[in-house]
C-alpha cells in the first residue's frame, strides 16, 4: 500500500544569529509579517505558508544540522488528522515520534533534520496561468515582489540515498528527476519538486524557494532587494530540471533563497517519466549566467 504523503511545505523555522537583520530581509523579500517581538518573528506567503524566525540560541528549537544560521525545522502539511495519525504510526516503527505544539507531529529524518507534520493551514493559490492575459488590457507591473507559495527546500546530506529512500518509502514522496552522483528531486504535490537532496560530505541548507507570478515580478523583486543592500547571487536564468525561471540571493537567515516562476507542474504521476541527468552546466540552466563559484558544490 502506498504510504500517506504530505501535500507540501506548510512552514519552516530558521534559527538565526541576527534576528533584526533576518527580519528586515524577509520583510523586504516580500513576505507578510504576522508577528514580531523579542523572541523572533513570523512571516507568511499569500497562501499562508509560514516562515518562523528565532534566535539560534533559543533552547526551544530543534538541534541544528550545521553551525550557522539555518533552517531548524520543516513542517509538512497533510490533508487530515487521519493522515497525521497514519504518518505517526508509520514513522514510530523505527524512530521517535512525539506531539509538538499546535497539533504538530514531530520526528527527525535520516540527515538529522527536524521534520513535523500538521493538518495544512494553507489556502492554496493555483499556479499562475501562462495563457494570454492581455486581451484588450494593459500589462500588469509590480512595485515589489509578493511570494505566494513555498515550493521547495534544498539540503546537502552525506546520506542522500538513505534520506531519499526515507521520504519515498515512508512518506510517499515521488521521484521527479535525478542528477547522476549529485542529487535527487522529490515531490509530494504538483510542483516539480518539494525537496531536493544534494549529495555532499557535509549536511546543511542550500536554499528555500518561493513562487512569484512571472519574470517581471522576479526582476522587480531583485531590483527592490538590491536597492536595499541585499546581494543577488545567481540569475536571472531558467533551470532545465524543473524548467523554472530563477533568481538566487544570499540569505542572512541561512544559505540562499530563491525567487522562481513557471515551474513544471505534474498533475498526472503516470504521465511523468523521471529522468537521470548528467551533472553538466548545460543541465543546470538553459540560459543565464554560469553558476557562481560560491554556489558550486
This prediction has a pTM of: 0.96
Give the residue-averaged pLDDT of 78-86: 98
pLDDT of 129 > 80? The answer is no
pLDDT of 217 > 80? The answer is yes
pLDDT of 140 > 90? The answer is no
Beta bridge partners of 184: 178, 197
- Full set of structural domains in the chain with CATH: 8-119 (3.10.180.10), 149-295 (3.10.180.10)
Judge contact between 116 and 74, C-beta under 8 A: yes
In 3D space, the residue among 194, 158, 156 whose CA is nearest the CA of residue 173 turns out to be: 194
Judge contact between 53 and 23, C-beta under 8 A: yes
pLDDT of 131 > 90? The answer is no
Dist CA 279 CA 296 (whole Å)? 12
How confident is the model over 150-198, as pLDDT tens digits?
A: 999 999 999 999 999 999 999 999 999 999 999 999 999 999 999 999 9
Kindly give, in sequence order, each residue whose CB lies less than 8 Å from that of residue 38, ignoring residues fewer than 6 positions away: none
pLDDT of 90 > 80? The answer is yes
Angle of helix 19-29 relative to helix 215-227, nearest 10 degrees?
A: 140
Dist CA 80 CA 74 (whole Å)? 18
For position 132, what pLDDT does the model report? 64
Dist CA 25 CA 41 (whole Å)? 12
Query: Among all chains, which residue has been given the C-alpha cell 544569529?
Result: 17
Helices and strands in the chain: count of H runs, count of E runs:
6, 17
Number of CB atoms found within 10 A of residue 88's CB: 17
Amino acid at each position: 500500500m502506498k504510504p500517506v504523503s504530505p501535500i507540501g511545505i506548510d512552514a519552516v523555522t530558521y534559527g538565526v544569529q541576527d534576528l533584526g537583520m533576518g527580519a528586515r530581509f524577509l520583510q523586504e523579500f516580500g513576505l507578510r509579517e504576522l508577528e514580531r517581538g523579542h523572541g523572533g518573528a513570523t512571516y507568511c506567503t499569500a497562501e499562508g505558508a509560514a516562515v518562523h524566525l528565532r534566535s539560534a540560541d533559543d533552547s526551544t528549537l530543534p538541534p541544528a544540522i550545521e553551525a550557522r544560521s539555518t533552517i531548524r525545522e520543516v513542517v509538512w502539511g497533510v490533508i487530515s488528522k487521519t493522515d497525521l495519525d497514519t504518518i505517526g504510526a508509520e514513522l514510530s516503527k523505527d524512530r521517535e515520534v512525539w506531539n509538538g505544539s499546535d497539533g504538530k507531529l514531530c520526528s527527525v529524518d535520516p540527515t538529522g533534520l527536524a521534520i513535523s507534520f500538521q493538518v495544512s493551514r494553507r489556502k492554496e493559490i493555483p499556479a499562475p496561468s501562462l495563457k494570454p492575459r492581455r486581451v484588450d488590457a494593459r500589462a500588469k507591473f509590480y512595485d515589489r515582489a509578493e511570494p505566494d507559495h513555498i515550493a521547495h527546500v534544498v539540503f546537502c546530506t552525506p546520506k542522500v540515498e538513505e534520506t531519499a529512500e526515507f521520504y519515498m518509502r515512508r512518506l510517499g514522496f515521488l521521484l521527479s528527476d535525478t542528477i547522476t552522483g549529485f542529487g535527487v528531486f522529490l515531490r509530494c504535490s504538483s510542483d516539480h519538486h518539494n525537496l531536493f537532496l544534494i549529495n555532499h560530505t557535509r549536511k546543511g541548507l542550500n536554499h528555500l524557494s518561493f513562487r512569484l507570478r512571472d519574470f517581471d515580478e522576479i526582476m522587480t523583486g531583485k531590483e527592490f532587494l538590491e536597492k536595499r543592500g541585499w546581494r543577488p547571487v545567481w540569475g536571472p536564468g531558467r533551470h532545465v530540471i524543473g524548467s523554472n525561471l530563477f533568481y538566487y540571493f544570499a540569505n542572512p537567515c541561512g544559505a540562499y533563497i530563491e525567487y522562481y516562476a513557471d515551474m513544471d507542474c505534474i498533475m498526472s504521476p503516470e504521465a511523468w517519466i523521471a529522468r537521470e541527468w548528467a551533472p553538466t552546466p548545460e543541465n543546470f540552466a538553459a540560459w543565464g549566467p554560469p553558476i557562481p563559484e560560491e554556489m558550486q558544490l
